[in-house]
Amino acid sequence: MRKTLTKSEVDALKKVGFIGADRAAKALSQIVGETIGVDVPSAGIIPLPELPGRVGGKEELVVGIYLPIRGDVKGSTLILFPQKSALMLADLFMKKEMGTAKNLDKRNKSALEEIGNILSGYCLAALSDFLGMELLEYVPDLTYDMGGAVMEHILVKFGHEVEQVFMLKIEFNIRKIRLPVYFFLLFSIEEAGIISKAIKARAGG
Amino acid sequence: MQDEIEVDVAEMEVANAPTRLISLGIGSCIVITLYDPALRIGALAHTMLPDSTKCSQSNNPFKYADLAVVEMIKRLEGMGCRKQDLEANLIGRANMFPHIPTLGVKETGEEDCMAVKKKLREEGIELTGEAIGGNSGRSVEFDTSTGTVTIKKIKI
C-alpha cells in the first residue's frame, strides 16, 4: 500500500479543498454580510513528527476543532485556527469590529464552533463528492490552548499507526486581511489506503 | 555549554548544571525528568505513550515512557549518577479534546501513567512530583542547577 500521494493526487485534493473552502466562505459571507475571499496557498503530506512546529510556535495559542468522521471510512479532521485568525473570525461572526476580541470567551467559542462546522461541512462534502464515498461528521470538540499541545494530541493518537497526515492551508481574505486556517485529514494506514485508491481513480494517477 | 536545550517528541537529553532542559506545548505526551541532586545532572525525556507493552514495537525507546526510564537511568549511571539518588517528575498526559469519546479503555492521565510509575518504583527511584492529566497544554522547564521543574499553562 503506498504511503504517499503523487503530485497530481495532492493537486486534486488541493482543488477539492478549494471547492469546499470556497463554498464555506460564501456561506460565511452571507451570514456576516461581508465579502470573504478564499485561497488555498498550500497542500501536502506532512510527516507526523514535523507537526508540532508546523503551524507556528508550540506555545502559541490556537483554536483546534477535532471532528471524528464515520461512513465509508473512519478517521478524523482537525481544523486549526491560529489565535489571530480565531479572534478575528469570531469578531466577524459576532458582527463586531475585527480586532475587538482579545481572548476567547464563551460566545466567541460558540462562534468559532459554528465557523468550524461550516468549514468542515463544506470541505467534507466536497471530499465526499470527489471520492464518491460517504463521509459523515460526528460531534466535534473544540480546544483553545497551546498549538504544540494540540498537535501532540494528533501525534499521540495516530503516532503508532500513521506516518504522515494531509494538510491544507486555507486563507480567508477579508478586507485585505489574510487569515490562515489549517485543515488536516487524519486516517490510519488502512483507511488512508482506501482513500488513496479512490483519489487515484479520480485524479487519474 | 548551552543555556537551554529543547527536547522534542520522542527525544531525550541529558545535561549538567546550569543548562535548562525544556519541552514546549506538551499535550498528551508524557515528560519524565530524572535528577541527581549531588552531581547536578538531569535528564528529560519527551515520550508519546505510557506503556510499551500495549503498542507495536518501535526502534525508539523514547516513544514510550516505561522504556525511556530504563534508557535514562543507563545514561545517568554512565555519567556517575547513582540510581537510588535520582528524583523523578512526571508531567503531561493531558486530553486536549475531552469530549471526544474514546472507544474501549478509559483514558485518564492518572490511570495511564501506572506503567511508568511502576517502572520507577521497581528501579527504586522516588517520584517527587507529578502534574498529569487534565485538559490543558503545559510547557516544562527543568533547571539542572537546582532540579526545579517549572510548569507553565495558558489560563483561559
pLDDT score of A3 more than 80: no
> Cβ–Cβ of A155/B135 closer than 8 Å?
no
Residues of A in contact with B135 (CB under 8 A): 143
According to the model, what pLDDT value does residue A161 have?
Answer: 66
Q: Burial code of A131-160, b = ≥16 C-beta within 10 A, e = fewer?
A: beeebebeebbbbbbbbbbbbbbbbbbbbb
Quote the cell numbers at residue A69.
Answer: 468522521
Query: Which among A57, A149, A156 has CB closest to B48?
Result: A156
User: Considering its fold, how many domains does chain B have in total?
Assistant: 1
Amino acid at the residue B156: I
The chain-wide mean pLDDT, for chain B, equals: 90
Q: What is the CATH number of the domain that holds B144?
A: 3.30.1330.200
According to the model, what pLDDT value does residue B103 have?
Answer: 45
> Cβ–Cβ of A139/B99 closer than 8 Å?
yes
pTM of the shown model: 0.89
Q: A1-5, A14-18, A193-197, B108-112: which range is least confident on average?
A: A1-5
Q: Is residue A67 within 8 Å of residue A79, measured between CB atoms?
A: yes
According to the model, what pLDDT value does residue A204 have?
Answer: 63
Q: Quick check: A59 contacting B, CB < 8 Å?
A: yes
Nearest CA in chain B to A56: B25
Q: How far is B127 from chain A (nearest CA, A)?
A: 24
Q: Quick check: A47 contacting B, CB < 8 Å?
A: no
> Nearest 5°: phi and psi at A196?
-55, -45
User: pLDDT of A85-94, one tens digit each?
Assistant: 999 999 999 9
Instruction: Beginning with the edge strand found earlier in the chain, give each strand of the sheet holding B41-47 in spatial order.
Output: B11-16, B41-47, B30-36, B87-92, B126-132
Q: Is residue A180 within 8 Å of residue A54, measured between CB atoms?
A: no
User: pLDDT of A155-198, one tens digit each?
Assistant: 887 776 666 788 999 999 999 999 999 999 888 777 878 888 88
Which residue range(s) make up the domain with B50?
A: 3-154
Which are the catalytic amino acids of B? 29
Write the ipTM: 0.88
Partners of A178 in beta bridges: A173
Q: Give me the total of CB pairs closer than 8 Å, taking one residue from chain A and one from chain B.
A: 99
pLDDT score of B108 more than 70: no
> Cβ–Cβ of A139/B55 closer than 8 Å?
no
pLDDT score of B113 more than 50: yes
Nearest CA in chain A to B48: A156
> Cβ–Cβ of A160/B136 closer than 8 Å?
no
Q: A26-40, A66-80, B24-38, B137-151: which range is least confident on average?
A: A66-80
